A = this chain, B = another copy of it.
Amino acid sequence: MQTIELRNRPKIVGSYSIVGPKEGEGPFSKYFDYVMKDDRLGEKTYEKAECKMMELAITGAVQSAGLMINDINLLLAGDLLNQIISSSYAARAFNMPYLGLFGACSTMAETLAIGAILVNGKHFKNVACATGSHFSTAERQFRFPLELGCQRVPTSQWTVTGSGASIVSLDGNGPVISMVTFGKVIDLGVNDINNMGAAMAPAAADTLSSHFEGTKTKPEDYDLILTGDLGKLGSEILVDLMEAKGFKLGKNYSDCGHSYYTRNQDTMCGGSGCGASATVLNSYVVKKMKQKIFKKVLFLPTGALMSTTANQQGESIPGVCHAIVLEAEE
């Protein structure tokens, strides 16, 4: 059984999203808390900007919960950079215990899942969960220097510049994290680093079907089933894989990456990166749940667990997908 039920009903009592200028021109624009004027945030490097974004997201989430930084007992965070430096260097700014996590682009669900379990078990009162990504740091770390101006292939995605943070607590108001499902590492042999959607879709299908089977629910039981950054192609593959497993994903299924940019923003298969699902969850989803427009949401971002070294050594790309169930407060 991969799914855990959280009987004490931990809630997302605070949330915050900060995004780059390009992201601020997309369909979720009006839901984001802060759109940066430039994607360096006044810092000398993109890496320092990525770290600063996360600091601002955490601070913003704490404020949105009506709390003070000192009320937060634990920070759970992770990101895509080598040795998750955005998270660890952001953690330095806060005087609280810190757990570094790595789930690639599944990190928002991983932090929320562990955070919710810790709060549910009354081990900590208020925990902060955060992640983020930056287009320019991801490009130069995983692909090519921006200055090269490499042409993008049709299956590629655009790493979201943005960071999202949530505060989880038993006290306060917000969507309830009622269940978490931890995913297995699934690798069907895709080794094209320009086609992450195809690499990660099987992990999403595995976690999603385990979740439905374990909880005896079906796709129609959710107002929204939301993957992270499978993108246009990856989310179509997921629909196919789920159909083969006997589950029909309908209009209530969506993918943050696929919906992140408009057609004319030229991002090929859509958005990607930890920031994609983190900023959509902590803006659009939380707001719509507070308005009771969504009453039950299954949020399941996926992560591609490869590195450039693994890829250069001929390895394929393993994927993982963690899921959380969010329920609007009654």
A 98-124 to B, binary, CB cutoff 8 A, 1 in contact else 0? 111111100000100010011011010
Decide if B82 touches A309 in the complex (CB within 8 Å): yes
Decide if A185 touches B315 in the complex (CB within 8 Å): no
A78 neighbours in B (Cβ, 8 Å): 102
Number of copies: 2
Q: Is A64 an interface residue (CB 8 A)?
A: no
Partner of A121, one of B73, B89, B117, B141: B117
Q: How far is the CA of A47 from the CA of B314 in the complex (A)?
A: 12
A94 neighbours in B (Cβ, 8 Å): 185
Q: Is A215 an interface residue (CB 8 A)?
A: no
Q: Is A4 an interface residue (CB 8 A)?
A: yes
Q: How far is the CA of A100 from the CA of B123 in the complex (A)?
A: 21
Q: Is A36 an interface residue (CB 8 A)?
A: no
Q: How far is the CA of A109 from the CA of B321 in the complex (A)?
A: 24
Q: Is A83 an interface residue (CB 8 A)?
A: yes
Q: Is A45 an interface residue (CB 8 A)?
A: yes
Decide if A89 touches B47 in the complex (CB within 8 Å): no
Q: How far is the CA of A130 from the CA of B27 in the complex (A)?
A: 42
Q: Is A187 an interface residue (CB 8 A)?
A: yes
A47 neighbours in B (Cβ, 8 Å): 309-310, 313
Q: How far is the CA of A141 from the CA of B92 in the complex (A)?
A: 24
Q: A85-B315, A98-B320, A100-B320 are in contact. List 6 more A-B contacts (CB 8 A).
A: A78-B102, A80-B83, A83-B310, A88-B185, A98-B183, A117-B123
